[in-house]
């Protein structure tokens, strides 16, 4: 008999859903993981889902706080994205970071669950932060190695050309927009080989900004997003310090009403059934 899907998502703001705003939901966001759970539940109403991700979390804290509760749920499917906040720090011990990451993946695989990992993306923050490309490239090389070594599935975010469009990003330039989260959900489902009804975003030709408009946008971004982020870093606090996990326990998935959704297309048979 086919086992119902028990999907547990772990990580930081990427998996929590920041950027995909929805005031009806916990922490005021939805995100790709919710959307993946919804699509799985459309085809198997017995699907259960938990999301332990919290914005601002670095890898070590994710390991300490999320892994034991996740494994206690006896998941059949685990998604794990972590380390992005570590890469943004002034200093990072990449060797230690990736050893901790690999140890976490080893524990996930030992549970018998299907495990999905993610590479990082070269987020188009600012030319001033171009050195982050080098860190991300090293991080991604390790992620691909670990995925191959442990036989996990891999969502190779780095290769998704759609994310070159700024409309795939929220105004803070760090988190995906609703369009970005919808597209990420589609790519995750494709990697799983699961049926779904999600399409790719279709954008009109982007507005060509003048130099003045570009400078004004950069200044607004620095004031609105970068300054508060730097202030939190200096004070040693995180935007997620007062938040809990959005969906801390496995539960049935409540499907939202979304009129006009495309009819589900046949896909490859699910790899985690």
H helix or E strand, kind and range, residue 6: strand 6-11
pLDDT of amino acid 225: 60
Domain ranges of the chain: 6-202+243-252
Full pLDDT tens readout for the chain, 273 residues: 478 899 999 999 999 999 999 999 999 999 999 999 999 999 999 999 999 999 999 999 999 999 999 999 999 999 999 999 999 887 899 999 999 999 999 999 999 999 999 999 876 655 556 667 888 999 999 999 999 999 999 999 888 888 888 889 888 878 899 999 999 999 999 999 999 989 888 877 777 777 886 677 666 666 776 676 666 666 677 776 688 999 999 999 988 865 433 333 333 333 443
Q: According to DSSP H, which parts of the chain are helical?
A: 13-16, 31-43, 59-72, 84-87, 94-110, 132-150, 178-192, 211-221, 227-235
CA distance 96 to 83: 11
* 133-148 core/surface letters (b: 16 or more CB in 10 A; e: else): eebbeebbebbeebbe
Class of the 6-202+243-252 domain?
alpha beta
pLDDT of amino acid 257: 67
165: its two tokens? 């469009």
């Amino acid at each position: 008999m086919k086992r119902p899907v028990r999907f547990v998502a772990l990580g930081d703001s990427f998996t929590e859903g920041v950027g995909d705003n929805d005031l009806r939901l916990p922490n005021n966001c939805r995100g790709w993981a919710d959307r993946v759970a919804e699509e799985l539940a459309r085809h198997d109403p017995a699907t259960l889902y938990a999301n332990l991700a919290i914005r601002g979390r670095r890898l070590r804290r994710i390991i300490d706080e999320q892994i034991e509760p996740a494994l206690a749920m006896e998941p059949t499917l685990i998604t794990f994205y972590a380390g992005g906040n570590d890469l943004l720090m002034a200093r990072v011990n990449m060797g230690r970071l990736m050893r901790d990451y690999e140890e976490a993946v080893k524990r996930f695989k030992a549970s018998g669950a299907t495990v999905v990992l993610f590479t990082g993306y070269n987020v188009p923050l600012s030319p001033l932060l171009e050195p982050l490309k080098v860190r991300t490239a090293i991080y991604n090389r390790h992620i691909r190695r670990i995925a191959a070594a442990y036989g996990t599935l891999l969502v190779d975010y780095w290769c998704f050309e759609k994310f070159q469009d700024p409309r795939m990003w929220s105004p803070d330039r760090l988190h995906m927009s609703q369009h970005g989260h919808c597209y990420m959900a589609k790519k995750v489902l494709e990697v799983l080989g699961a049926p779904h009804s999600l399409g790719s975003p279709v954008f009109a030709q982007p507005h060509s900004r003048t130099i003045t408009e570009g400078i004004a946008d950069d200044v607004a971004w620095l004031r609105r997003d970068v300054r508060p982020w730097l202030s939190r870093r200096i004070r040693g606090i995180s935007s997620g310090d007062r938040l809990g996990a959005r969906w801390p326990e496995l539960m049935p998935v409540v499907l939202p009403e979304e009129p006009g959704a495309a009819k589900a297309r046949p896909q490859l048979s699910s790899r985690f059934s």
